[in-house]
Chain A
Amino acid sequence: MVNIKFLARLAALSPLLLLGACSGNDGFRLFHPVGPVASAEFHYTLISTGVMMLIIVPTTVLTCVFAYRYRKSANASYDPSWSHSLPLELLMWGVPLLIVVALAYFTYQSVFLVNPAGPESLNETPGMAMGSDPLQVDVVTTDWQWLFIYPGQKIATIDDLVVPAGRTVQFRLTSATVTNDFYIPQVAPMIDVMPGMRTLDAFRVDHTGTYEGFSADFSGAGFSWMQFATRIVSPDDFAKWVAQTQTAPSHLDYAGFQKLAQPTINEDAKPAYFSDVDPKLWDEVYTGVQQGAVYPVPKETQTKAPEAKMPNARPGSTS
């Protein structure tokens, strides 16, 4: 198996090398995964591509060779009676079948490793998918901002995700309005964020760093501005940041959330911080939507955004 994997990687790398010069900061985010989950995803991207190359490369080459060699002007051998060959046809079904069997095996392996609801690649000890003490972060998307709630710390942020290095982060995600998609290309498996529904995601990054995150599923006029920073900081810095945020002057409960969730485009992804946050806020948003809460987009916003500035200013942002 190691052999196959090695060959697969080698074969897969060749075209990818052409694309990305593979320096650290070349913009090809997906070639520079961070943390066990994203690394597993990239690993299996290479394996899958490699296995496919075993059949794609010879087929492409043969197609080109036949197309060139048997052109009329070449006067190559011509045999119009040859249109059927049982062994060849068996081979034509058999080889792709073997390839698919191999791919299916790797898929089966990888699906569990990167399953957003509990990636096995994060297992520190068998059976402990989330590590000993995962950090819980609740995520709510509105039109068109990200709200990150830290129920354990009773704090919340807008468009700023700060997590400690070396600790598993576990997310619960829901939307107050329409579907978004939680996406930090280098770090976390993509997962949809849907109104009235709960999805899960998790990751762990062992080194500090800052990565771009954004929504990947179209959600309306302000969609292009739905970015958030993902800052992986050292555990000490995280503790300091939590303590500092716990002194933020703005507080947040469900009533405050309903004001916050009015359609707003946060053009520069400017963060905001809240202390004394209701730890049950996520559940209230989730059940509220199920019971019919909507945050309608005014017709003018739908058709005119964003050159007309949003009417409501965001409540007290401190940074």
Chain B
Amino acid sequence: MLVDLQGPWSPLFGRLTLASIPYSNPIIIFAFVFTALAGLAVVVPVLYYRKVGYIFREWLTSVDHKKIGVMYIILGLVMMFRGFVDGMMIRTQQVMADGPHSPGVMEAQHGYLPPSHFDQIYSSHGTLMILFAVTPILTGLGNIIVPLQIGARDMAFPTMNAISLWLTAVGAMLIMASLFIGDFSDAGWVGLTPLTELPYSPSVGVDYWMWAIQISSIGTTLNAINIITTIVGMRAPGMRWDRLPIFTWTTLSTNIIGLTAFPILGVALALLGADRYLGTHFYTAGLGGNLMLYTDLFWIWGHPEVYFLVLPSFGILSEVIATFSEKPLFGYITMVAATFAIAGISWAVWLHHFFTMGAGPWVNTFFSVATMLVGIPTGVKVFNWMFTMYRGRITYTTPMLWSVAALILLLVGGLTGVMLANPAIDYTVHNSVFVIAHFHCMVLLIAFTIFAAVIYWYPKVFGYKLDERNGTWFFATFTAGTAITFTAMFGLGFMGETRRLDYLYDPSWQPLLIVEELGIFVYVLSCYFFCRMFYVSIRDRNLNRCGADPWGTSRTLEWMTHSPVPFYNFAVTPHVNARDELAFRRSVGADETPPDHYEAIHMPKNTMIPVLIGVLAFGFGFGMVWRIWWMAGLSLLGIIALVIFRSFVHDHGYLLSGEDIARMEGKASQMSIMSETQDEMAMAEGVH
């Protein structure tokens, strides 16, 4: 050992002992039982209906960009639910632990959570929501929609796409493991140095946090390479740059950010790893280390990451608002310019996350003005959406409701964001819950657009619409919860409440804390309607089957192929003539009769290598966290061997014949992303 570890270590089990399992904590026992039941609810039906082979063949080993996208989104939604439970626990602790005379239950002096447990919960809330909920969902949406929008058959590198997914899933699994084996980081999702250094965080929590992010961010980087290559190289004939749909533009800009920013995070965390594992002094307070190095590196990634998330959301808004206003997007060129302006400026604002670290007034002024500049292209976007609605014919489906509410959230978040951009104001509210309320406005704006997108594109992938009635209730309750909770939080910010407090010393905060808690109850209601929306829709799916364009007013290429999309996407690669191809064809009344024969299509084969790499990556992460060197070493060697093995495999595709396509096209409306590809072909065979 190069570093001074507190506690025992053995070659076989590393730092892992029976005492690492927090079996005496009732909250963790409850979480374990809940997770186990949820897991059983998935596993038991799979076993009962003998679907293990199906799950393995059609999902785990799949390289189909749509299935990978769906798995990304399911992962993200599950993690979002866990993140929400964390948020609920944070709020409940704070409302219980206000004032010196507030009672404590279980092991806590105030409230029901002792500080270390509370600190782990808010750290995992942030880490999960940003990196394992919103990021995977947006990545999944990009995965599903972008190839369809540009008329491609799949992503440029289908196998690498699956590897990206499984690496992201491994990160999420490491965080779930930290709940039951050991503990999670209690140093915030940003990993405040030198608190994350061994002397101040001797347990494995920080290691879990570090490796979960490190492994999943490799997945995100690979995905960025994949998406950029797909958009640059695989557009259908006629899909010129000036015809690219806005969602594809924003996904392109986002992944340029992803490709350039995530490696910085990798380096920042690797140096922290060197400190914690090798005893170096990159971020220690003494012996030449400097915590500012970490702070700078982290936020040089961290700020672009914010735009990495928000740009695709802006893309979703552009698609949804144009569709339901029955008008082309106002100011297409300005929109693209604004997107890249935001992406560009996002690199020059990171210091605004630490105006209070004592930089001089000139430095602070530079970053302050740079931050305010972001407001210009963002404002342009808001005006574009506004004028898209102007003289439109707006149908208020649920995606449109989410989008208009997202616009209002963006205005509130933008106003408070520009306030924070002035250091003089930041000095009074930095690290207060005012900042928390501000960035929750922004992240919830992203969540709002995610719900809009999931509802909007769901019929494209599954072939039937989601229930609008329950969807509207879901929207109403979620929006009400947001408004109640975060209005109160802005107020608490002005009262001087700072963030991450396990115990609140000021009893006068009680009324607003209670309001926040009420908002959380409304959010719980929204969870019910969310589940009910899916339950009702899946139950009544055969009543709600839809055609290629379920909304009737869609504009872009993905709505030209069948719903659900066949695994080969387009039977014939479409030729693009205009910016909004479908709207163009609708307006000129283009002839849509199927061709008399189909060309054969080359499709990628499923492979188990990505999921194997995922299993080994989990072994590597878990081994590193607990310092079980043999496990980490063997897993890493296994990953390298698999990658080398894969590079010698030449046969990774097959040819889908024209006759097969003709058969499947005839039965397209009865196909489903859920059914076996072989079944579909057999079904088509039987009809023939």
Contacts and interface: CB of A to CB of B under 8 A. Distances in A.
Interface of A: 16, 19-20, 27-31, 38, 40-42, 44-45, 48-49, 52-53, 55-56, 59-60, 62-63, 66-67, 70-72, 76-80, 82-85, 88-89, 92-93, 95-97, 99-100, 103-104, 106-108, 110-117, 143, 175, 177-179, 181, 183, 185-186, 189-192, 194-197, 199-200, 212, 214-225, 227, 267-269, 289-299, 302-307
Contacts of A63: 382, 385-386, 389, 404, 407-408, 411
A111 B360 CA distance: 9
Nearest to A88: B387
A199 B424 contact: no
Interface string B412-449: 00110011011111111111100000000000000000
Contact of B286 (A200, A212, A291): A291
A108 B365 contact: yes
Which among A30, A291, A295 has the greatest number of chain B C-beta atoms within 10 A?
A30
Given A19-B491, A194-B357, A113 B432 contact: no
B445 to A, nearest CB: 14
A100 B377 CA distance: 11
A76 to B, nearest CB: 7
Given A92-B383, A96-B375, A289-B286, A41 B6 contact: no
A196 B285 contact: yes
A299 B6 contact: yes
Interface string B320-351: 00000111111110100000000000000000
A304 B114 contact: yes
Interface string B89-121: 000000000001000000111000011100100
Given A56-B411, A178-B200, A302-B202, A28 B495 contact: yes
Which among A20, A106, A217 has the greatest number of chain B C-beta atoms within 10 A?
A217
Interface stretch (B228-236, B505-513, B540-548): B505-513
Contact of A52 (B331, B407, B415): B415
B393 interface: yes
- Nearest first, the 8 A-B pairs at minimum CB distance are A195-B285, A185-B496, A189-B427, A110-B424, A96-B379, A296-B199, A292-B286, A216-B431
Contact of B424 (A40, A67, A177, A216): A40
A307 B389 CA distance: 57
A303 B494 CA distance: 32
Contacts of B199: 294-297
B373 A100 contact: yes
Given A66-B389, A100-B375, A199-B358, A303 B428 contact: no
Contacts of B387: 85, 88
Contacts of B332: 83-84
Interface residues of B, number: 108
Interface of B: 6-7, 100, 107-109, 114-116, 119, 183, 186-188, 192-195, 199-203, 284-287, 289-292, 325-332, 334, 354, 356-358, 360-361, 364-365, 368-369, 372-373, 375-376, 379-380, 382-396, 404, 407-408, 411, 414-415, 418-419, 421-432, 490-491, 493-496, 498-506, 508-509
Contacts of A268: 100
Which among A20, A85, A115 has the greatest number of chain B C-beta atoms within 10 A?
A115
Contacts, number: 338
A27 B505 CA distance: 13
A195 B193 CA distance: 10
Contacts of B115: 221-224, 305-306
A289 B200 CA distance: 14
Given A48-B422, A292-B286, A224 B504 contact: yes
A86 B474 CA distance: 40
B287 A20 contact: no
A19 B494 contact: yes
Contacts of A96: 375-376, 379-380
A111 B499 CA distance: 24
Contact of B360 (A93, A117, A220, A269): A117
Nearest to A98: B376
Nearest to A30: B494
Nearest to B384: A92
Nearest to B198: A296
A207 B411 CA distance: 39
Nearest to A301: B116
B43 to A, nearest CB: 32
A45 to B, nearest CB: 5
A199 B360 CA distance: 11
Which among A48, A111, A185 has the greatest number of chain B C-beta atoms within 10 A?
A111
Nearest to A82: B391
B286 A99 contact: no
A49 B415 contact: yes
A22 B202 CA distance: 46
A181 B501 CA distance: 13
B432 A216 contact: yes
Contacts of B119: 218, 221
A172 B602 CA distance: 69
A96 to B, nearest CB: 4
Contacts of A77: 391
A112 to B, nearest CB: 5
A100 to B, nearest CB: 5
Contacts of B326: 78, 80
B361 A111 contact: yes
Contacts of B360: 115, 117
B285 A117 contact: no
B500 A218 contact: yes
Contacts of A110: 422-424
A189 B426 CA distance: 9
B200 A297 contact: yes
A41 B372 CA distance: 18
B365 A107 contact: yes
Nearest to B587: A80
Nearest to A297: B200
Contact of A291 (B287, B327, B407): B287
B496 A212 contact: yes
B394 A67 contact: yes
A189 B116 CA distance: 29
B428 A38 contact: yes
B555 to A, nearest CB: 11
28 contacts: A27-B508, A52-B415, A52-B419, A56-B414, A59-B383, A59-B386, A67-B394, A71-B395, A72-B394, A78-B391, A78-B392, A83-B388, A85-B330, A92-B384, A96-B379, A100-B372, A107-B368, A111-B361, A111-B365, A177-B194, A191-B358, A216-B431, A224-B501, A290-B286, A292-B284, A306-B109, A307-B108, A307-B114
